Amino acid sequence: MPSRFRKQSRGGRGNPGENIDINRFINKAQPLSETAYTAKNTFQSFNLDIRLLENVLAKGYTTPMAIQDQTIMPALEGKDLIGLANTGMGKTAAFLIPLINKTLKNQSTNKTLIIAPTRELAEQIRSELIELTRKLGIYSVLVIGGASINRQIGELRRSHQFVIGTPGRLKDMFNRKVLNLSLFNNIVLDEVDRMFDMGFSRDIKLIISQLPKNRQSLFFSATINSEVDQLIKAHSQNPIKISVVRRETTGNVDQDIIKVTDTAKKIEVLHDLLIKEEFEKVLIFGRTKWGVNKLSIELQKRGFQADAIHGGKTQSQRQKALYSFKEGRVSILVATDVAARGLDIPNVTHVINYEVPETYTDYIHRIGRAGRANNTGKALTFVNRA
């Protein structure tokens, strides 16, 4: 077995997630009529550059979602803000639209840095940016690990208005003196709490410290912990806090548990679920890259169209697996928490926590992959019970 798939040692430490009250994994979805939001604005009423507005409407955005409705205008006014919303509720467009509009007013000096916790989320943000800036002469550079650093260096040396990246590679580019952070007068931290969870707090603080004092700072996430709150207070100017979080977990995900009394038969229980007709597009979460890879192979042996995404795969392998899942070439994607934050994977019918996440916050972000954009989804969590 390749070394990158070897079983990870836990040094005798169990999964702290096993101590989470299992009743927190059980919630009935609210009827969509109860979770409906009535926007006060339209995209037309934001007075966007007409070229940008045309691209927004071409993407099928007709009515602003709650986080977009409440944050776009203050962002257009240049204010710092904190945007809190459940996953799948349109945070990416909420910060891209005003920053693109700002760039169109001054393309020569306006520069934006967007930091995301994972390569996949950074790629997704850039993909949406490309669609929204079609024919606008706005250029971006994707700066992430697992891809050619020499190509990224070359792109950074060419004219661009947006840089989107992950903390580690951005810090690397700064240390190599190919990324001049003093030129960026806008910064976005997306899923900022996840970056702290992943150990990027020092990198983020270093990056922010190199930015000009006179800048616009936007922070978006589903949750904000105390450490992140301190970061925001230290690196923003009287930020407006806008929260459209209605409850701990997204209201349109039906959540339940699957009790397993014999762990040896756990895979059989999963098999019996996956053969049901309603399990059309399923995202399964495990804790380790070794376990995720093993489960994916086992499902393939059983005849399921499955693939895996985890940190042991190359970036091109991860991209291929994610794209195959999005496009429906595989119906099951087995993943570590690298896929839990921010990714917009359409039409996921079920999220299955094959292994309990380490924290309840991780649980929230995992199940947020279902029930996106006001669709109803289902989440099932396996719990061991003797």
Interval 346-357 mean pLDDT: 92
pLDDT at 186 over 50: yes
pLDDT confidence tier of residue 167, bands split at 50, 70 and 90: very high
Q: How far apart are CA 78 and CA 172, in angstroms?
A: 29
Of residues 259, 244, 277, 283, the one with CA closest to residue 371: 283
pLDDT confidence tier of residue 147, bands split at 50, 70 and 90: confident
Interval 315-320 mean pLDDT: 84
Contact 165, 119 (CB under 8 A): no
Sheet holding 253-260, edge to edge: 253-260, 377-384, 350-353, 282-285, 332-335, 306-309
Nearby residues of 102 by Cβ (< 8 Å), 6 or more positions away = 76, 78, 110, 186, 216
Mean pLDDT of the chain: 88
User: Quick one: residue 90, left, alpha or beta (phi over 0 = left, psi -120 to 50 = alpha)?
Assistant: left
Q: Rounded to whole angstroms, what are the CA distances from 298 to 190, 233, 247, 279, 347?
A: 35, 48, 36, 18, 24
Q: Model-level pTM? A: 0.76
Q: How far apart are CA 288 and CA 253, in angstroms?
A: 25
**Does the domain made of 38-243 have the CATH classification 3.40.50.2300?**
no
Q: Directed axis angle between helix 226-234 and helix 201-209, to 10°?
A: 10
Per the model's pLDDT, the better-predicted residue between 7 and 235 turns out to be 235
Nearest-10 Cα torsion for 144, 147, 150, 154: -60
What is the number of residues in the chain?
386
Contact 7, 292 (CB under 8 A): no
pLDDT confidence tier of residue 103, bands split at 50, 70 and 90: very high
Q: Which helix (H) or strand (E) holds 230?
A: helix 226-234
pLDDT at 251 over 70: no
Topology of domain 3-32+248-384 in CATH is: Rossmann fold (3.40.50)
Q: Do domains 3-32+248-384 and 38-243 have the same CATH topology?
A: yes
Domain chopping of the chain, boundaries: 3-32+248-384, 38-243
